[in-house]
Structure 1
Amino acid sequence: MSEFTVQFVPVTVTPATIWLFVSLSDGETVGWGEATLENQEATVTDCFNALPKRLTEADLADLRFDTLPQAALSSALRQAQADLAARMAGVSLSDHLGRAGRDQIGIYANINRSTRDRSPEGMASNARRALAHGHNAIKVAPFDEVRATMGRREMTDAMGLGLARIAAVRDVVGERRLMVDCHWRFDVAGAGRLIDACAPLKPYWIECPILETEAGIAELVSLRRRANAAGMRLAGLETAILRQGFAPYLAAGAYDVMMPDVKYCGGPREMLAISVDMARHGVAFSPHNPSGPICHMHSMHICASLPQEELLETQFDETPMFDSLVDQALPQPIGGRVTLPMSRLGLGLSLVVPQPESGPST
């Protein structure tokens, strides 16, 4: 039975952001995955430290997904396994997964982490930079001050600051797509008021307005109907795990758009299976992808394995290390699309491991 050496590589890229990477090696070829999980880096590290010294194929077939940190590490190992297999087969990852005859992917820019000036003018200025960089669609996360525990008046006041940010960005993007991420900051009543208030600003979707639990699915269904009636869509479910994590939301019709993340949902092949389930229910597939370059490349190869997809998220200009951490140039957007280099093996690039930041390896 084959055995693999596994390496865990945490990299601090900004004072607020740590990206987590893993690799699998058979002694000759290396495959890469990403396990980044904001504010839970230590727990993901603990999950890695609990692994066997060397991983066998049986170990990789029996990975744990009981918690989100476990899912992050297990999904990263599955990513690395798929990358390794594609490289060994002498093909690109998307060809290994079953490419749908295309190499261009539509993307949008998440400008949240690169917007240091959180004023409406600062957010608008950063949106303008993203458009100049080749993007045609923008996502903002404008509700910094909102908390689900706020009273109605306090939440309404806090929401007003976010609406001003959205309005400023709308002025910049014109009729282009503008997505609004709420990061689960609202209660149900506040989310309803948000939908009503956002309608004149015409966001393409409202994302993650309330905490996502199976007990709250009926409330999500109601919010979706309210958003649809106002000409908007409802999006979410970026941290769902495996097909079964999406199933009850799909069955109920909770969202117009679901956003599986290859870092949490179970890896590339599980993500493709989830996309099939979503298509069966008429739900748009738009992967969550605001972190490092390894997740970014996995997400693009997955999208190339589908006949079509909603736009793929990409982080915009959080740090120059997004480009410098890898040994090949990342595809750059032109007119809101990127072209994958299908002549490269596997992901088409590898992590350049920064020695001072290297984590433990077994």
Structure 2
Amino acid sequence: MNTLARIDAHVVNVSPKTNWVFIAVTDSEGAVGWGEASLIGWEPLLVAATAHLAPDWLGLSLDDAACKLLVSPQSPGGLVANTVTSAVLQAVASLLVQARQVAPAAVLGPTRRTQVALYANINRATGLRTPEGFVATALRAQAQGFSAFKAAPFDGLTPALCATPEGQTLILHGAACMLALREALGPNARLMVDCHWRFDEAHALQALQALAPARLHWFECPIAETHAHWAATRRLRAAANAQGVLLAAAETQVGLAAFQTLFDEGLYDVVMPDVKYCGGPWEMLRIAERAAAQGVQFSPHNPSGPVCSWHSLLVASVAPACDMLEIQFDESPLYDALQAGPRLPMEGGQLRVPVQAGSVLGVQPAVLAAHPYQAVPPGIETLLNR
């Protein structure tokens, strides 16, 4: 059986806001599998954590690695260590595809669908942060076949600011952006708003009411996902549902047990595990299976690079159900330029599931080398938890 022989982290700068982190795992036969470990602002620590953890994993067989590499919310290394582990597990899945010469999804289970619907996250492609700017990006996405769209227009808002005049201005501006999107995209488009945990309960309710004319499909991550906020989250879910809106969250949750707690507490209509953080493809599939059993929708979080898209697509193809898969629309031409091997086959707002035996998505080394790490602003998760 092939064993893990080398594990290397690579950082590529794709925009003034974004680096992507990829981890290459080489096996004893020289095959290479790729995983994605992007976590905005934490790139040096991800590289260091990869070097720190790799010696414990080298020499494991592919099957042993798939079973023995584990994530935990209680890990002393926190989300950084869990992200590295998740990325290595993605790479192991690709190595197993090559070793067994099977269809890319076959190492996860039988394929249930041949294509997966996408929604366009238009946030990072929108430089002009006005109603007109968001509309221009969304119309470009619509022209490329997308019929579902997500924006995050509440820039600068924090829970502490919500009640202030500045916060009220930011809330009204964000609502205006979403209402403009509804008017421009028409009545049949699916429209979602990502709040990035910027609200307290009272002002999340204010925003939800202001957004009623936008006829949202879902209201995402309005408040912090902590035990102290569970009662408020249930009240927000009830208020959203009364407007015909779903409540979505859980993009940085780690491991099935954490998601089971969310199911047990009745917090969300939609969970959004991210294959970069939740524990890799097999754990993500277990989360999807449990979500289906609990009557909760599964919609993978995927606002980053092509390697994450590849592995998310494969899980979505074998999951019992998958509402939609996120795609970061038009942030950088490097999304396409980085892809080596079979390209992600996007058509009309959908991704076709790859079926060629032994095929895996790789990363172009020359493109990696041409766009080295650059410091970028911290993500909102960091800003809210400093």
TM range (shorter): over 0.9
Q: Larger deviation: 192-201 or 30-39?
A: 192-201
TM-score of the pair, normalised by structure 2:
0.88
Q: CA deviation at 1:308?
A: 2.7
The answer for unaligned runs of 5 or more in structure 2 is 374-386
% identical aligned pairs? 40
Partners of 1:139 and 1:89 lie apart in 2 by 38
What is the match of residue 124 of structure 2?
113
Distance in structure 2 (CA, Å) of the matches to 1:303 and 1:124 = 29
Q: Find the aligned partners of 2:12 and 2:248 in 1 and give their Cα distance.
A: 30
Q: Could you say which residue in structure 1 is the equivalent of 2:35?
A: 33
Counterpart of 1:157 in structure 2 is 169
Kindly indicate whether the alpha-carbon contact (under 8 Å) linking 1:100 and 1:307 is maintained by their aligned counterparts in 2.
no
SS at match of 1:135: coil
Aligned to 1:288: 301
| Aligned equivalent of 2:369 | 355
Residue identity in the other structure for 1:169: L
- From the superposition, tell whether residues 166 and 302 of structure 1 become closer, same or farther in structure 2 (CA, over 3 Å): same
Which amino acid counterpart does residue 233 of structure 2 have in structure 1? L
Alpha-carbon offset, residue 240 of structure 1: 0.2
Q: What is the alpha-carbon distance in structure 1 between the residues aligned to residue 313 and residue 38 of structure 2?
A: 17
One-letter amino acid of the counterpart of residue 38, structure 1: I
The equivalent residue for 2:376 is none
Residue type matched to 1:318 in 2?
A: E
Structure 1: distance between partners of 2:201 and 2:177:
22
Higher mean C-alpha displacement, 201-210 vs 187-196: 187-196
Q: What code does the residue aligned with 1:72 have?
A: T
TM-score by length of 1: 0.94
SS of the residue corresponding to residue 125 of structure 2 reads coil
Q: Which residue identity lines up with residue 193 of structure 1 in the other structure?
A: Q
**CA 1:329–1:3: 2 relative to 1, 3 Å:** closer
Aligned twin of 1:167: 179
Q: Secondary structure at the match of 1:22?
A: strand
**Whole-Å Cα distance in 1 between the matches of residues 69 and 15 of structure 2?**
34
In 2, Cα distance between equivalents of 1:212 and 1:293: 27
Q: Which runs of 4+ in 1 moved over 4 A?
A: 356-359
The 3 A distance-change label for structure 1 pair 52 and 35 is: closer
Q: CA RMSD in A?
A: 1.8
Structure 1 residue 331: deviation in Å? 1.3
Does 1:332 find its partner at 2:334? no
Distance 1:3 1:104, change over 3 A: closer
Any conservation in 2 of the 1:145–1:159 contact (CA below 8 Å)?
no
| 1:268 is aligned to 2:268 | no
Q: Which amino acid in 2 is paired with 1:47?
A: A
1:33 Cα deviation from its structure 2 partner: 0.4
- Report deviation, 1:287: 0.2
Q: Which residue of 2 aligns with 1:98?
A: 109
Q: What's 1:181 paired with?
A: 194
Residue range with higher mean Cα deviation, 45-54 or 121-130: 45-54
* AA aligned opposite 2:26: S
Q: Displacement of 1:357 after TM fit? A: 5.1
**Would the aligned equivalents of 1:217 and 1:249 in 2 still touch at CA under 8 Å?**
no
The letter of the residue matching 2:92 is Q
User: Any idea what SS the aligned residue of 1:314 has?
Assistant: strand
In structure 1, the gaps of 5 or more residues are: none
Partner of 1:76: 87
**Aligned residues, how many?**
357
